[in-house]
Amino acid sequence: MARIEYPAAVIRLIDEMKRLPGVGPRSAERIAIWLLQNPRAEPLALAASLQQAKEEITPCPQCGFFTSGGECAVCDDPAREPILCVVEQATDVLPLERSGAFKGRYHCLGGKLSPLDNVTPDDLRIGPLLRRISEGAGTEVILALGADVEGEATANYLASLLRGRCPVTRIAQGLPAGGGLEHADALTLARALEGRRDL
């Protein structure tokens, strides 16, 4: 008796699904079968959107955010203030935009310093950042990096590079909005105390 498996094309689809972040073997099988069986599924529309996004989307040559050709919508916006906000990833741009609290432009580093992962300053878009600043892109640089060890190290490194060239600030660390003290860890509380402000 032959050992039965899915046809090769189904196995290939499951394997590709398994590679996606957060999709385990069981979800991959469930998604693949759903795509093939559910009348509401449109696998060809998904395939077309993958191809279109892969072909069209490139990093903005200035800031590294997503664009479908030329400079991105932020760099291209003449109403932006001359302030540069340095973030780790292109995916950090939209959360800041949605906050409504920043009206300048961005600079995506493409990562953070991490000796353990072999990420050195040469791997980050630091040269382009210095070029933009020397070309007058910002009268202030805000470092909006993560509050983890690598974010700290990257912020300190950039601050030492930029000192004397333009004012450098870093976004505050403290209690998250809506968070009570009982849910905050000791380090968050220590930083919230350090960053206290006059009322």
Site residues (CB under 8 A) for a copy of itself? 1-10, 12-13, 15-17, 19-23, 27, 29-37, 40-54, 56-57, 66-68, 73-74, 77, 79-80, 89-91, 93-94, 97, 103
**Residue 97 CB, nearest distance to a copy of itself (Å)?**
5
Three-state DSSP state, 119: strand
Classify the C-alpha dihedral 72-78-81-84 as positive or negative.
positive
Contact between residue 90 and residue 108 where contact means Cβ atoms under 8 Å apart: yes
Q: Which is nearer to a copy of itself, 48 or 189 (CB)?
A: 48
Q: Which is nearer to a copy of itself, 88 or 162 (CB)?
A: 88
CB atoms within 10 A of CB 37: 8
**Residue 115 CB, nearest distance to a copy of itself (Å)?**
20
**Residue 13 CB, nearest distance to a copy of itself (Å)?**
4
Q: What is the DSSP letter of 175?
A: P
C-alpha span between 191 and 57 (Å, rounded): 39
Q: Which is nearer to a copy of itself, 75 or 162 (CB)?
A: 75
**Residue 117 CB, nearest distance to a copy of itself (Å)?**
14
Q: Is residue 18 classed exposed, middle or buried when 0-12, 13-18 and 19+ CB atoms within 10 A define those classes? A: middle
Q: Which is nearer to a copy of itself, 1 or 199 (CB)?
A: 1
